[in-house]
A = this chain, B = another copy of it.
Amino acid sequence: MKAKIHVTLKQGILDPQGKAIEHALDSLGFKKTTNVRVGKYMELDLDQTDRAKAEAEVKAMCEKLLANTIIEEYRFELQ
């Protein structure tokens, strides 16, 4: 099974990288771009056919390692 995981900054947490990109886009002439937010996207393969188990496992990975839940939130899909 393949897991596709998004880790993004929580609302209200400053995103200096997003800001810098917004600024750069602006100077490239993309003037109307706003609210740029940058997060992580991860893919991984799971050797697990039981969907529920896979779900529990990926959730555990996110909670423990992949996201820092103080500032980040995560969501994932399984395929």
A: which residues have CB within 8 A of B? 6-8, 18, 21-22, 24-25, 28, 30, 32-48, 57, 60-61, 64-66
Q: Contacting A35 at CB < 8 Å: which of B30, B44, B64, B65?
A: B44
**What CA separation (Å) do A25 and B40 show in the bound complex?**
17
Q: How far is the CA of A39 from the CA of B34 in the complex (A)?
A: 22
Give 23 pairs: A residue, B residue, CB < 8 Å, sorted on A.
A7-B41, A18-B42, A21-B42, A21-B65, A21-B66, A25-B61, A25-B65, A28-B65, A30-B60, A33-B45, A33-B46, A34-B44, A34-B45, A34-B47, A35-B44, A35-B45, A36-B42, A36-B43, A37-B44, A38-B40, A38-B41, A38-B42, A41-B41
